[in-house]
Structure 1
Amino acid sequence: MHVLAVASEMHPFVKTGGLADVVGALPAALAPYGVTVTTVLPGYPAVLAAIGDAEAVAHYPDLFGGPARLLRASVGSTRLLVVDAAHHFQRGGGIYSEASGREWGDNWRRFAALSAVAASVAAGAVADYHPDLVHAHDWQAALTLAYLRHGPRADVPAVMTIHNLAFQGGIDAGLFPQLGLPGSAFAVDGVEYYGGVGYLKAGLFYADAITTVSPAYADEILTPSHGMGLDGLLATRRGRLHGILNGIDTAEWNPATDPAVPDHFDAHDLAARARNREHVEQRFGIVGGDGPLFAVVSRLTWQKGLDILAATIDDLVAMGGRLAVLGSGDSAIEAAMFDAAARHPGKVGVLTGFDEPLSHRVQAGADAILIPSRFEPCGLTQLYALRYGCVPVVAHTGGLGDTVIDANQAAVAAGVATGVVHDPGSQEALRSAIHRAVTLHAQRDVWAAMQRAGMAADFSWRQSAARYAELYTSLLQERTPA
């Protein structure tokens, strides 16, 4: 089975978050099930540098304002088709935004270009490649399905994966003619969305199957409180909606071999974590102590509940905890974190920016990780934490609730507890959860049992990849004439 994946980022080539991790891990995870994945990526400078000299397999004289070509390359076992369009993707700053942080004003055109090329590949633009199925990820790739359904190969089955429903992509109706879609596509049964064009909405409408990245999130987005205006459409497509939990690359995230981790360890011998904790304390300017070292590795945003945490740091320190924060995002939340560090020197340390190796070291050394999200489609951070013996303290929402077993009395007695779970959106609930974590940490045998239970959990891609392979097969069978 040949699957054409479409995404705006992919680890290890370019990454801003969990989307890249998933897109990067799925091809290898699907290979044992007879699925060969080729991924269409934008030709950002980092991607072009990674593929080097590559074969041009298609040309586009005018791809939304300039010439482009499609490059085919393999990097290790990863198969890529890269959209080399300098006018769209050869820019400084970030992949979605300028250096100032402001989003590129033509993102709608850039990712329409990505989608149009991907749909052309599905329709046969590359002479010797004919994918059986298309799998689009998030709004940046969602318009692929509109171009596919209004093109010469509308029969190719397609899957749309929602990594975060909060990001939908959309433009004013006046720009619709520039997309190159037929006029009939601008309809409620098409790309029209509240009078404009909805990219993600289009993908959800045209998809043969819709997946989310956790079972709980699949249920949550059917409700007005989590549906972000799309719950009505999703409800009509309930029978096509599947919650498939994300996995992690257990070879890359392995505390026994991780090159980013100073002192390796496994579930049988956790002693090295104390030395790793010292490395984290030194890097963040935190003084050692008997209380737990909490950590944050996250975008500092409202969705992640980090404004709630910022308002709770004084309580955390008063309880004997310390805090290392790694991330960037909302300027007000960043400022609140730095203010807390100034109030509690040696107790709170903050480093802004994205640092992949350091994120591994934090997971390997911190005692607990705080993820107080208001909503969380899946979350990978808590999965990495479980793998590294870093106990998650999480809000009960989306994939967080699916993957962390609360340390209630029964779970602790049974030896299956892996973290502390609290209600989302409440400062008092977070404060109580931190207090529970501090109390549990003082019970060293209980804490060690929680660490080992988390490290023993299987969050590899094996089971999730099997579900994707089954879904692909079922869609192909639907499209095959009897």
Structure 2
Amino acid sequence: MPRTGFPSMKVLFATPELAPWMKSGGLGEISWSLPAALHEAGVDVRILVPAYTPLLAAFPRAKPVAEFAPAGGELPASRLLEAKTDSGVPLLMLDCPAYFRRGGTAYLDASGNDYADNPLRFGLLSKIAALLSSDASPLHWRPDVLHCNDWPCGLAPAYLKFMGGAKAATVMSIHNLAFQGIFPADTLAALGLPPEAYAMEGVEFWGKLSFMKAGLHYAQRITTVSPRYAEEIQTEAFGYGFAGLLHWRRNDLTGILNGIDARTWNPATDPYLPRHYEFAHLKGKEANKAALRQRFGLTAEASSPVLGAVCRITQQKGLDLLLDIGDDIALIPAQLVLLGTGDKGLESALSGMANRHPGQFAVHIGFDDGLAHLVEAGADIFLMPSRFEPCGLNQMYSLRYGTPPLVRETGGLADTVIDCNDATLASGKANGFVFGEATSEALLMAIRRAVAAWHDKALWHKLQRNGMVLDFSWSNAATAYKAIYAGLPTNGAKMKTAARTRSPAASTAEEKLAPEAGAS
């Protein structure tokens, strides 16, 4: 139940993904967990997400609460469905069958190609998010804050900019700046945005239109998913063309570390594990290691730790760094299990490396949630050699599961993993292993350090304890986001007045809404 005793701030949380029904990465999990934590903290939050087929199947009793006529440009008619969730957070699903009732992922078809109409699909999501955050909304409930997540929601602050009347304050959250929603300039008219939006101080980006640029320029506050990443994206190396804009807006930019769902990721209760365990009783972890070896076809070697990785198999994640040092890892000796899918060439190369070391290395191409939990619990060392990592969740899972992570010093990995050395051991802060350069040599040196530490059982026990006692729950992030919301300049007072004076008939399902794009 949410805490009470103070007026509830109203927040519309707009997202293209929602776990477990539609997710391509961490955003889906965040979009479920953060609103739940905000709800617990007393925020009146509602999630806006496309009505994908799996979501419609999961919430068959969702009720229509509004209908929208074509929303300007080439954006089609749609409707809004409302459903109740177990977390207590109301779910608003944008239903447009031609756009969202498809196979594949949120962004890709079954063949792994971008949907050609992605700008229209997510333009519609952004437009409806903006409408619901303005005094043109058909709903009685009206948000004080519109919280937009990643490029698919980036046009919402732009739409609000060109709408008249009272409107919510806006927050734009960057989950991965590498994905920018870049489309041809002539998409502007199809999206129903006015010509003046296409400017350097607007949605224009190197002769094209960028959804991400729109959000970064027009939103009143910008957040990203770790303090280190907030610093990195202001540099040319990590800014992907937006470093200058983000540096210019640095006083409006805040890095807030993501949390994890401590109920789902708990080795003492995890239903996917053959044996539960906790810090005081770590024998269960050995049973999970045995189960992991059996599942991946590894030999039972008492002298070899198991290195594990669960991630998208892409260059970003740094797994290609393993290709030149596979033989060296085998000679340490250490075992290796990889779970993931992604770049076909890299998948093939890593599978080939595993085939050269049968019984010692194994690669599972694909994703299996239960197997992901088993890797976290059964591995001795968790690998995340990412070239960049805005936040990362798996290193926090592995810390909670007593599996010290080995990471590259970047983004949220640098904010959560403290390198093991004499000073950090003495202070009780060491919880993993960190390396700097994104090279195979640097990764190999870190693996050798970690394996040497694993052989020192007293030291290893300290590392496990230091990680397992850390609090990565979402309550910390929820508190930080509440502070961001509270500090926003807003027309909230005007919005609430408008909501009180509107006719109750304005919230009926029959009302159709089609404000002109670019109204001022």
Please indicate, yes or no, whether the TM-score normalized by the shorter chain is above 0.5. yes
Q: Distance in 2 between matches of 1:152 and 1:414?
A: 56
Spell out, residue by residue over 1:85-130, the C-alpha distance to the aligned partner (whole angstroms, 9 max, x if none): 1110111222211111111111111111111111111124233111
Q: Distance in 1 between matches of 2:166 and 2:414?
A: 38
Q: Say which is worse superposed, 45-54 or 208-217, in terms of deviation.
A: 45-54
Following superposition of structure 1 onto structure 2, how do residues 186-225 of structure 1 map, counting pairs within 5 Å?
Answer: 186-225=198-237
Q: Is the 8 A contact 2:41 2:475 kept in 1?
A: no
Structure 2 spans left out of the alignment, 5+ residues: 1-8, 495-520
- Relative distance call for 1:153 and 1:442 in structure 2 (3 A) is farther
Q: Distance in 2 between matches of 1:59 and 1:276?
A: 51
Q: Match for 1:332: what amino acid?
A: G
Q: Name the residue aligned to 1:83.
A: 94
Name the SS for the 1:324 alignment partner: strand
Q: Are 2:79 and 1:69 equivalent residues in the alignment?
A: yes
Following superposition of structure 1 onto structure 2, how do residues 162-201 of structure 1 map, counting pairs within 5 Å?
Answer: 162-201=174-213
Q: Say which is worse superposed, 200-209 or 408-417, in terms of deviation.
A: 408-417
Spell out, residue by residue over 1:330-364, the C-alpha distance to the aligned partner (whole angstroms, 9 max, x if none): 11110111101110000011111121121111101
Spell out, residue by residue over 1:129-150, the C-alpha distance to the aligned partner (whole angstroms, 9 max, x if none): 1111100000011111111111
Q: Is the 8 A contact 1:387 1:454 kept in 2?
A: yes
Following superposition of structure 1 onto structure 2, how do residues 398-477 of structure 1 map, counting pairs within 5 Å?
Answer: 398-476=411-489
Q: Are 2:52 and 1:7 equivalent residues in the alignment?
A: no
Spell out, residue by residue over 1:201-245, the C-alpha distance to the aligned partner (whole angstroms, 9 max, x if none): 000001111001000010111111111100011111010000101
Q: Distance in 2 between matches of 1:27 and 1:476?
A: 21
Task: Tell me by how many angstroms 1:476 deviates.
Answer: 4.7
Following superposition of structure 1 onto structure 2, how do residues 382-397 of structure 1 map, counting pairs within 5 Å?
Answer: 382-397=395-410
Spell out, residue by residue over 1:251-275, the C-alpha distance to the aligned partner (whole angstroms, 9 max, x if none): 1111101111111011111110000
Q: Name the residue aligned to 1:242.
A: 254
Any runs of at least 4 consecutive aligned residues in structure 1 with deviations exceeding 6 A, and if so which? Answer: 477-481
Q: Distance in 2 between matches of 1:414 and 1:459?
A: 20
Q: Match for 2:92: what amino acid?
A: L
Following superposition of structure 1 onto structure 2, how do residues 323-362 of structure 1 map, counting pairs within 5 Å?
Answer: 323-362=336-375
Which structure's CA Rg is the greater one?
2
Spell out, residue by residue over 1:139-163, the C-alpha distance to the aligned partner (whole angstroms, 9 max, x if none): 0111111111111346420000000
Q: Distance in 1 between matches of 2:408 and 2:166?
A: 42
Task: Tell me by how many angstroms 1:429 deviates.
Answer: 0.7
Q: Distance in 1 between matches of 2:138 and 2:15?
A: 18
Q: Match for 2:111: what amino acid?
A: S
Q: Is the 8 A contact 1:373 1:424 kept in 2?
A: no
Q: Distance in 1 between matches of 2:242 and 2:163?
A: 25
Q: Distance in 1 between matches of 2:299 and 2:428?
A: 32
Could you state the TM-score of these two structures normalised by the residue count of structure 1? 0.97
Task: Tell me by how many angstroms 1:309 deviates.
Answer: 2.0
Q: Is the 8 A contact 2:125 2:153 kept in 1?
A: yes
Q: Is the 8 A contact 1:246 1:461 kept in 2?
A: yes
Following superposition of structure 1 onto structure 2, how do residues 13-412 of structure 1 map, counting pairs within 5 Å?
Answer: 13-62=21-70, 64=74, 66-76=76-86, 77-123=88-134, 124-153=136-165, 155-289=167-301, 290-412=303-425
Q: Distance in 2 between matches of 1:453 and 1:5?
A: 34
Q: Distance in 2 between matches of 1:152 and 1:253?
A: 45
Q: Is the 8 A contact 1:397 1:424 kept in 2?
A: no
Q: Is the 8 A contact 2:11 2:46 kept in 1?
A: yes
Percent of paired sites with the same residue: 45
The size of the alignment, in residue pairs, is 481
Q: Is the 8 A contact 2:382 2:403 kept in 1?
A: yes
Name the SS for the 1:78 alignment partner: coil
Q: Match for 2:480: what amino acid?
A: R
Q: Match for 1:183: what amino acid?
A: P
Name the SS for the 1:262 alignment partner: coil
Name the SS for the 1:394 alignment partner: strand
Q: Match for 2:70: what amino acid?
A: D
Q: Say which is worse superposed, 436-445 or 101-110, in terms of deviation.
A: 101-110
Q: Distance in 2 between matches of 1:156 and 1:66?
A: 24
- Relative distance call for 1:56 and 1:157 in structure 2 (3 A) is same
Q: CA RMSD in A?
A: 1.5
Q: Distance in 1 between matches of 2:38 and 2:75?
A: 36
Could you state the TM-score of these two structures normalised by the residue count of structure 2? 0.90
Q: Is the 8 A contact 2:75 2:124 kept in 1?
A: no
Q: Distance in 1 between matches of 2:484 and 2:355?
A: 52
Q: Distance in 2 between matches of 1:476 and 1:25?
A: 26
Name the SS for the 1:75 alignment partner: coil
Q: Distance in 2 between matches of 1:87 and 1:120?
A: 20
Q: Is the 8 A contact 2:332 2:448 kept in 1?
A: yes
Greater RCO, 1 or 2 (C-alpha within 8 Å, sep 6+): 2
Spell out, residue by residue over 1:48-99, the C-alpha distance to the aligned partner (whole angstroms, 9 max, x if none): 1111122211212336454321111112213111011111011122221111
Q: Distance in 1 between matches of 2:419 and 2:139?
A: 53
- Relative distance call for 1:478 and 1:470 in structure 2 (3 A) is farther
Q: Name the residue aligned to 2:506.
A: none
Name the SS for the 2:94 alignment partner: strand
